[in-house]
Amino acid sequence: MPVIESVSAIEVLDSRGRPTVKATCALAGGVSASASVPSGASTGTAEAIELRDGDKSRYRGLGCRKAVANVNGPIRHALHGRTVEQQADLDQLLLALDGTPNKSRLGANAILAVSIAFARAFAADRGVPLYQHFADMLGLTPTTLPRLTVNLFSGGKHAGGQVAIQDVLVVPASAKTIDESLAAVFAVFQAAAELGVSEYRVRPLRADEGGLAPPFPSVAVMLDDAVRAITDAKLIPRDDVAIAIDVASSHFYSDNKYTIDGDALDSAGMIDRIALWLDAFPIVSIEDGLGEDDWSHWPALRRRLRGRALTLGDDLLCTNPERIKRAIDAGAADALLLKVNQVGTLTEAGRALALARSAGWRVTVSARSGETEDDWLADLAVGWGADQIKIGSITQSERLAKYNRLLEIEAATRLPLIGWPNP
């Protein structure tokens, strides 16, 4: 049973050069491990609160010194010398110490960094790989590796809003391994970069998650270009490489209207627009097709997509068990985008996963647009049996750390890729 010797934290920088929290947890047995936490830009309003300093003279208010001080002060004090039998006990201690419903006192960034650093130290103490430890935490046995969904084109808040929707992702569908998947993605990415030069006369500049962001005139052209890139790479759209999209529509929804491609659509119009894309392109998953508060229309969206594409909730659900329960009851979605930092502890994220699974939902484990070189996400996706993993593009080291970790896990375990979207 691990006994916590000490916890500490420092401020480090994420992939946007913004501060985040890196925590270290040392156990009495001599093992010590660290973890750093990511940060979103297109955040849902129901997310747990990242504590930021608000001092405009430093990092435009984004500093994390207060969150770091909370780890080095009250959290360290509360955990020192504690025997912690399991992750849930540690997380419960942190939640009680915070005492707010949204982790605004200590900060979800402080709490999660400690939660994951402890998990990693615990895994090392047990002498098991982190993915195995994550699996054991929920009583699961890893039998598959997650299917990749990889950002090809970016728009919305990650690319200066040149086009309304946020991500067009490629899903290597016929690949049998992570290794084959990445080679297919590379081929499509190169073809897309060349297409950007020939079609838009732009250098292949990249958005926050590494996706390409040429000035597409419309969403339909963006999707069409993705299909062209797949074909140019000598792969068959849908059979070899399918498409997933993150509409991230909360971010262009106001006064009951979706402002997209020069139109102001009501919710029914937005659903019709999505159905048009589905008819024209090999799309297998639609994330946040409607806004996070447009609850009354989500069931209709799901009925429209059912049997053709996943209705995936990100901002809608915020990895929050209460919101997931509401969505299950309403028939509003059939897939969960799981981002641990949206809810703030591993235990609560595990509860979100169990709830989604109890309703037969698919689960995508996802990175954030602001990431670090830490790779725990890959272990989490494998350990928790995710159907999909969404990390970003294949161009930046904060993304590649996770892809490379998946390659390592694949080499070590020889687990097969999950059969989605092709059975």
* Interface positions with ligand PGA (CB under 6 A): 40-43, 166, 246, 248, 314, 366, 368-369
Omega before residue 421 within 30° of 0, cis: yes
43 binds, among ligand PGA, Zn ion, none (CB under 5 to 8 A by kind): ligand PGA
Beta bridge partners of 207: none
Single-letter amino acid code for the residue at 351:
R
**Nearest CB to ligand PGA, comparing residues 36 and 42:** 42
Q: Which is nearer to ligand PGA, 27 or 248 (CB)?
A: 248
402 in catalytic set: no
Between CA 178 and CA 343 the distance in angstroms is 28
What Rg do the C-alpha atoms of the chain give, in angstroms? 21
Residue 14 interface partner, choices Zn ion, ligand PGA, none, CB cut-off 5-8 Å depending on type: none
Catalog residues that contact Zn ion under the rule CB under 5 A: 246, 314
Residue number of the CB atom closest to ligand PGA = 40
Q: Which does 40 bind (CB under 5 to 8 A by kind): ligand PGA, Zn ion, none?
A: ligand PGA
Based on the number of CB atoms within 10 Å of its own CB, is 45 exposed (0-12), middle (13-18) or buried (19 or more)?
exposed
Task: Name which of 12 and 305 has its Cβ closer to Zn ion.
Answer: 305
Q: For ligand PGA, which is the closer residue by CB, 125 or 387?
A: 387
What is the distance of C-alpha 257 from the center of its chain? Answer: 26
Which of ligand PGA, Zn ion, none lies near 392, with the C-beta cut-off 5 to 8 A by kind?
Answer: none
- Residue 27 corresponds to which tokens in the numbers above? 């156990």
Q: Any idea what DSSP says for residue 73?
A: I
The Cα 86–Cα 74 span in angstroms is 21
Binding partner selected for residue 78 from Zn ion, ligand PGA, none, CB under the kind-specific 5 to 8 Å limit: none
**Distance in angstroms (rounded) separating the CA atoms of residues 39 and 277:** 30
Q: How far is it, in rounded angstroms, from Cα 313 to Cα 286?
A: 9
**Binding site partner of 374, from Zn ion, ligand PGA, none, Cβ cut-off 5-8 A by kind:** none
Distance from C-alpha of 198 to C-alpha of 405, rounded to nearest angstrom: 34
Say how many CA atoms lie within 13 Å of 19 toward its Cβ: 23
Instruction: Of 270, 352, 337, 257, give the one whose Cα is nearest residue 305.
Output: 270
**Backbone angle region of 344, left / alpha / beta, with phi > 0 → left and psi within -120 to 50 → alpha:** left
In angstroms, give the least distance from the CB of 391 to ligand PGA.
11
**Smaller CB separation from Zn ion, 32 or 369:** 369
- Kindly tell me which of 294 and 314 has the beta carbon lying closer to Zn ion: 314
Q: State the pairing for strand pair 19-27/32-36.
A: antiparallel
Q: Choose among ligand PGA, Zn ion, none what residue 319 binds, the Cβ cut-off being 5 to 8 Å by kind.
A: none
How many residues are recorded in the chain?
Answer: 423
Of the two residues 31 and 286, which places its CB atom closer to ligand PGA in the complex?
A: 286
Report the residue number, 223 or 365, with the smaller CB distance to ligand PGA: 365
22 is catalytic: no
Are 312 and 286 within 8 A, CB to CB?
yes
Q: Which of 5, 50, 209, 348 is catalytic?
A: 209
Q: What does the DSSP assignment read for 267-300?
A: HHHHHHHHHHHHHHS-EEEEES-S-TT-GGGHHH
Spot the catalytic one: 22, 103, 157, 339. 339
CB of 59 to Zn ion, least distance (A): 24
Residue 366 binds: one of ligand PGA, Zn ion, none (C-beta under 5 to 8 A by kind): ligand PGA
Q: How far is CA 33 from CA 8, 116, 153, 223, 291, in A?
A: 11, 9, 35, 42, 39
Amino acid at 352: A
The nearest distance, CB 154 to Zn ion, in angstroms, is 12
CB of residue 252 vs ligand PGA: minimum separation in angstroms? Answer: 13
* Backbone φ/ψ region at 307: left (φ over 0), alpha (ψ -120 to 50), beta: left
Q: Which residues are catalytic?
A: 209, 339
